[in-house]
Amino acid sequence: HLREARALTLMPRISEYCMGDAVVRESGQARVRDVLGAIVGSGDGILAAAVADIGGRVLVSTLISSEGVDAARRGYFRNAALGNESISDLFRVRQVVGDMLAVAYAVPVRDPQGAVRCVVTVAARADSFGAVLRSRDDFGGEGSFVVLVDQFGLRTGHSEREEYMLR
């Protein structure tokens, strides 16, 4: 899904929107939402797509309720605002599409001089993560299971107990 986020940054409607002033952004918001919506509607597990300014404010999103939200505290967003492609840690989505794992891909939108003007983020289902863990059940012998922890020692995955994912 990083490829889709990269592709969005190159689309004329999105780059014009990001390079534009307040008037251009106001008039182009619906067109940008249509472009983002086409990616979300692709049926490829993409849950949402958004464009945010480099300060972190979500300007346009396929989830209108997230417009205006401040994404600046998210590490993957901060990394993209600095000019780097970035992928989030797994996170659990509960409010919009039920209870599932997701991952976000963030890519900077640059002006012709290379300065970052916006960040495009694509959030996608992370179902395959659990499948990989489950495929390792009994790998260490009958009755064994896999527990995956993050850099802080927090459990992010469990091969036998779905309710332990990200707990």
Q: How many CB atoms lie within 10 A of CB 96?
A: 13
Q: The whole model's pTM is what?
A: 0.81
Q: Read off the pLDDT of each residue in 97-117 and give the average, rounded to a whole number.
A: 89
Q: Kindly report, residue by residue over 42-56, the tens digit of the pLDDT.
A: 767 888 999 999 999
pLDDT at residue number 138: 74
* Whole-angstrom distance, CA of residue 87 vs CA of residue 95: 21
* Whole-angstrom distance, CA of residue 38 vs CA of residue 11: 12
Mean pLDDT computed over every residue of the chain: 86
For residues 97, 53, 85, 64, the Cα torsion angle rounded to the nearest 10 degrees is: 10
Report which DSSP code applies to 132: H
